[in-house]
Amino acid sequence: MRKTILFLFLLGFSLYPSERVRAQSGEPRLSSLQIDLWPEYDQSAVLVIYNIVLDASVPLPAEVAFHIPTEAGEPNAVAQGPAGSGLLNAEYSRTIQGGWAEIRFQAVAPNLRIEYYDPRISRDGTARTFVFNWPGDYAAASLIMLVQQPIGASNLITVPNLSSINQDTYGLYYHGADVGALNQGETFQLTVSYSKTTDDLTVNFLPLESSAPLSAETAGRVSFLQILPWAMGVLGLLLIGLGVYWYFGTTRKERRPASEPAVLKRKVLSPAGSLRSDPQEGVFCHQCGKRASSGDRFCRACGTKLRL
């Protein structure tokens, strides 16, 4: 439902005629710009994240353009959405302008997000260095820089110094600072250096998380009450099968063929050592095979009249 409302919100803005809206300075102003640098997070590159909030004075829709390094290729994400809500992908165009690639799109909501991977990490043994440049596309009332320290990295240094160091719930350290306001065309450069002896990626050491809280209504989850009838049914069939097997197994052991001879003969040794026949009388029920005692007229087991 939330995504549907967001989609309708963006669709409504997109129906207005597109135009290049300019503020008094000639370009839209940014209320805030937070740039996150995550070296060696899920690739052997730096994940760069622009979290942009347009100034409230900027009429929407507004055509905006941001520059990313040409070496980054296509951006990993270009998205937008209203304040306090999720973001949806935005259609964009990419134009190469020397060492920069211009990412241009129609902003129909105040919150914007651009992600790309910058492969330009310099490696010299265990020492690694990365230089980030903000080209000054727009004036920003506040620029916040945040650097995630890679797993296994040590001696992380930023120039200029990002003095604030915080740790999140996963044990990852973030170096950050509020750089302050920037004018349009004013560039900003940040150099990040650290030591690392392995090529391990940070994402491989993070616990897996679901995209939404798990509940009994979560798709794919099966509750105990749902599987209980099936479990009882399988158990019942198993017990029935065992009962049938036991019944026929014990019956076969107890019953003897009705054609079994009424008189058994056994071979015994005569005093001289030769074999002789020694009849041993015995009457068996032709119905159930039980042996009858001398003088019985009816089977003591099943009651059938004996064939004497």
Distance CA 290, CA 9 (A): 89
CA-based nearest residue to 94, from 117, 113, 78, 107: 78
CA-based nearest residue to 118, from 40, 196, 190: 40
pLDDT at position 78 is 97
Q: Model-level pTM?
A: 0.63
CA-based nearest residue to 288, from 301, 305, 307: 301
Distance CA 300, CA 293 (A): 9
- Coil/strand/helix, residue 1: coil
The series of mean pLDDT values per 10 residues for the chain, 308 residues long, is 50 41 60 97 97 94 96 96 87 96 96 97 96 96 97 96 94 96 96 97 83 58 71 88 82 57 45 44 78 80 79
Residue-range domains of the chain with CATH: 2-7+28-199 (2.60.40.1730), 254-308 (no CATH)
Cα angle 114, 120, 125 (rounded to 5 degrees) comes to 140
Q: How many residues does the chain have?
A: 308
pLDDT at position 26 is 52
Phi (first) and psi of residue 174, to 5 degrees: -125, 130
* Strand arrangement of the beta sheet that strand 188-195 belongs to: 121-124, 127-134, 188-195, 154-159
Cα angle 155, 156, 161 (rounded to 5 degrees) comes to 125
Q: For residue 219, give both structure tokens.
A: 């798709």
Cα angle 188, 158, 171 (rounded to 5 degrees) comes to 120
CA-based nearest residue to 187, from 114, 120, 133: 133
Distance CA 179, CA 146 (A): 10
pLDDT at position 222 is 62
Q: For residue 189, give both structure tokens.
A: 């450069």
Distance CA 211, CA 208 (A): 10
Q: Name the residue with tokens 């240094």.
A: 157
